[in-house]
Structure 1
Amino acid sequence: MSARQQAKFLPDGRRLHLQDGPIDLVIQADGAPAAIDIAYDAACERFATLLDELCAELPQLRQRLTKDSVLPQGPVAARMAEAAQPYAAKHFITPMVAVAGAGAEAILNAMVGAAPLSRAYVNNGGDIALHLDDGATFEIGMVDRPDQPRLFGKLAIKSGDKIRGIATSGRHGRSFSLGIADAVTVLATNAPGADAAATMIANAVDLPNHPGIIRVPADSLQPDSDLGRHLVTRAVGTLTRTEIARALARGVRFADSLLAGGQIHAAALHLSGQTRLVHASPGLMTTIGQAKEAFTHAAS
């Protein structure tokens, strides 16, 4: 790894923290001690190339994806485009919609490919790529706002659930949002797919033309934003319970369509204290008064 990149264990001695520019990962592997060491070495080796690999195709990754787009060549960039493609025909989208999930998946694949692990995860700012061997389980808590974590429920994932990606998106997250959701949490088959779906569902939670919602062009806040002149949400005034319900209903309809199409396994949508759950398996996503851990930190 270069001097630009940082790798250190967190105080618990089990989780590894990797940081390079905007990429900030928390990693944990479970298995035999020797296998864990090999997996962490593999994670560091793959991480050393990740940012430069993405930057090599960054101008293309920031362009709108259409049926005529030239697809990126790098393995992570290709996964980003693949995750974005299902939305390209009807929505403005770029491959950057799945950058966090695809990055997490790349590091996880390096770990699992290097050593036999019973369980492992890579958490890229709340977008999580997950490995579960037969019989393994994974439980994390969920929050309704990433910037002001309040625990509202839990996710209990078993190896047989075939869920290997968890992502959260919304107007309080690291990226801009076209909608007004405080947070949308998605479970999907893989991390890039979860990342893209969470963003698109969060965009769908909205009240178009509402006078109390302040929006500005994305490039006025970040000149190189892949969203360009598209209006992103900067503030949401007080909404009535009816307005909150109407905005969430828009998001639920979109999430239901993704569930029916197999693009997601479940979603939790939050806005101004109200929550809606979308899932096909009762008990997979359970709303409770107190969860074991914050969503942005995977369970030990």
Structure 2
Amino acid sequence: MSDGPPPHRALLPDGRLHLQDGPIDLVIGLEGDRAAVLAAREAAWRSLHGVLAGLIEELPLLRAPLLGRLPELRHPVARRMAEAAWPYRAQFVTPMVAVAGAVAEHVVAAIAAIPGISVAHVNNGGDIALHLSPASCLRVGLMEGPEAAGPDGLAVIRGDGAVRGIATSGWRGRSFSLGIADAVTVVALGAAQADAAASIIANAVDVEHAAVIRRPAESLDPDSDLGGLPVTVDVGALPPELAAMALDRGTACAEALLGRGLILGACLRLQGQVRLSGLLALGDEVSASHS
């Protein structure tokens, strides 16, 4: 299969790089000496060329649920996706659960190979891959949901720590969710890991109530990897105790993933209530604050 036309690229007014290829839409921030930044922009653009075509070629396997063994995938991004989803194979999961984070991770790896880059962040629709030198730090806003006017919390990620991936999932995001979380933000060793875990935890934030409306995924998108599974399309006002119960279920899931070493921290939000786990609660390698 041909790699197709090269990705669109443009510089944003603030100096960040915008790369777009079909549904892949990246915003990339870079810090370093000028020559390194110019080389990193080129490396990022080149690394994205052919990714979409490669994933489309293996799409049947990427949309199939993981079962007894890892699928034999050729593209490095496809393999990242499957490896990030693999720990959750005891439940219904496909490699698509980690697609955004895996693409961001692929691009940041190309950037990290350029000497002289101190900070790089590749944002793929809210799933972010990081490259940080040991002396650097990055401040990341925490949002209550995609409709929020701006962040109401802050995570400070230090370069001498372990966090290199951030992802957010929830029923109001761009991907379908089985749960009712407004937003679940996860920090992890990598973006693909964070992407998969954020979806799994967001699915666990759940209760049954008349205010929760669900529809089969395939009725909303015939190509969805979730098939006939009921996904959340609306969540009305819940009794505070039920919202707390849903968050408790999600927090239990997050704590279990922390225990397995699959994530480093999580922030769960639902209708004004917040739960923090791991580094986001302890303020160790990541310090978090909320207004």
Normalised TM-score (structure 1):
0.92
Q: Which moved more, 1:65-74 or 1:183-192?
A: 65-74
Measured in 2, the distance between the counterparts of 1:73 and 1:167 equals 25
Measured in 1, the distance between the counterparts of 2:200 and 2:157 equals 23
Measured in 1, the distance between the counterparts of 2:44 and 2:6 equals 16
What are structure 1's unaligned runs of at least 5 residues? 290-300
Q: Which amino acid aligns with 1:47?
A: L
Change in 2 beyond 3 A, CA 1:48/1:4? closer
Task: Please report how far the alpha carbon of residue 227 of structure 1 lies from its aligned counterpart in structure 2 after TM superposition.
Answer: 0.3
Q: Quote the residue 2:107 is aligned against.
A: 107
CA contact (8 A) 1:36 1:115 kept: no
Task: Please report how far the alpha carbon of residue 116 of structure 1 lies from its aligned counterpart in structure 2 after TM superposition.
Answer: 3.3
Q: What SS does the aligned partner of 1:239 have?
A: coil
Q: Quote the residue 1:292 is aligned against.
A: none
Q: What SS does the aligned partner of 2:47 have?
A: helix
CA contact (8 A) 2:4 2:53 kept: no
2:97 aligned with 1:75, yes or no? no
Measured in 2, the distance between the counterparts of 1:212 and 1:27 equals 38
CA contact (8 A) 2:70 2:86 kept: no
CA contact (8 A) 2:29 2:121 kept: yes
Measured in 1, the distance between the counterparts of 2:114 and 2:160 equals 23
Q: Quote the residue 2:38 is aligned against.
A: 37
Q: Quote the residue 2:185 is aligned against.
A: 185
Which deviations, in whole Å up to 9, do the C-alpha atoms of 1:230-289 show, x marking residues without a partner?
A: 000011122111001000000000000011111111100000111111114622342322
Q: Which amino acid aligns with 1:215?
A: R
Q: Which amino acid aligns with 1:42?
A: A
For residues 137-286 of structure 1, the aligned pairs below 5 Å read 137-207=137-207, 209-280=208-279, 282-283=282-283, 284-286=286-288
Q: Which amino acid aligns with 2:270?
A: L
Task: Please report how far the alpha carbon of residue 211 of structure 1 lies from its aligned counterpart in structure 2 after TM superposition.
Answer: 2.5
Q: What SS does the aligned partner of 1:64 have?
A: coil
Q: Which amino acid aligns with 1:176?
A: F
Change in 2 beyond 3 A, CA 1:262/1:100? same
Normalised TM-score (structure 2):
0.94
Measured in 2, the distance between the counterparts of 1:132 and 1:258 equals 24
Match for residue 9 of structure 1 among 8, 11, 24 = 11
Q: Which amino acid aligns with 1:273?
A: G
Q: What SS does the aligned partner of 1:151 have?
A: coil
Measured in 2, the distance between the counterparts of 1:149 and 1:5 equals 30
2:26 aligned with 1:25, yes or no? yes
Q: What SS does the aligned partner of 2:193 have?
A: helix
Q: Quote the residue 2:55 is aligned against.
A: 54
RMSD: 1.5
Task: Please report how far the alpha carbon of residue 3 of structure 1 lies from its aligned counterpart in structure 2 after TM superposition.
Answer: 5.3
Q: Which amino acid aligns with 1:39?
A: A
For residues 88-107 of structure 1, the aligned pairs below 5 Å read 88-89=89-90, 91-107=91-107
Change in 2 beyond 3 A, CA 1:134/1:198? same
Measured in 1, the distance between the counterparts of 2:94 and 2:212 equals 24
Change in 2 beyond 3 A, CA 1:237/1:31? same
Measured in 2, the distance between the counterparts of 1:30 and 1:146 equals 27
Q: What SS does the aligned partner of 2:113 have?
A: helix
Change in 2 beyond 3 A, CA 1:130/1:194? same
What are structure 2's unaligned runs of at least 5 residues? none
Measured in 2, the distance between the counterparts of 1:18 and 1:100 equals 14
Q: What SS does the aligned partner of 2:117 have?
A: coil
Measured in 2, the distance between the counterparts of 1:4 and 1:171 equals 33
For residues 106-125 of structure 1, the aligned pairs below 5 Å read 106-125=106-125
Measured in 2, the distance between the counterparts of 1:52 and 1:46 equals 13
Measured in 1, the distance between the counterparts of 2:138 and 2:62 equals 32
Q: Highest relative contact order (Cα 8 Å, sep 6+), 1 or 2?
A: 1
Task: Please report how far the alpha carbon of residue 210 of structure 1 lies from its aligned counterpart in structure 2 after TM superposition.
Answer: 2.3
CA contact (8 A) 1:147 1:173 kept: no
Q: Which amino acid aligns with 1:50?
A: V
Identity percentage of aligned residues:
50
Number of matched pairs: 286
